[in-house]
Amino acid sequence: MSETIVYGFPRSTFVNIVRLVLTHKDVAYRFEDLEPVMGRSEHLALHPFNRVPIFGTATSPFMRRAPSSATSTRCSRALG
């Protein structure tokens, strides 16, 4: 199974919701701090709408565009 990666910045509540669910589910993940490159090409290549969190694998990142209230539910469902 590919390594799980959460892209974001440490002060983001949305990012920390995803990290909280992963920790609760005992899912190992790597955190990539995008704070220095927010809004730049490196970030926009992962999420063209200039947002975080971005949740995925090294080969297949996918953006989170759900309403904030759905973030933890969808993350939890995706992990089973």
Q: Point out which residues bind ligand GSH (CB under 6 A).
A: 12-14, 38-39, 50-53, 64, 66-68, 71
Which of residues 2 and 13 has its CB atom nearest to ligand GSH in the complex? 13
Shortest Cβ 39–ligand GSH spacing (Å): 6
Distance, in Å, from the CA atom of 48 to the CA atom of 69, rounded to the nearest integer, reads 21
| Residue whose token pair is 């899912």 | 27
CA atoms within 13 A on the CB side of 10: 2
Whichever of 37 and 57 has its CB closer to ligand GSH, that residue is 37
Two tokens at 46? 């992962």
**Shortest Cβ 14–ligand GSH spacing (Å):** 4
DSSP at 2: P
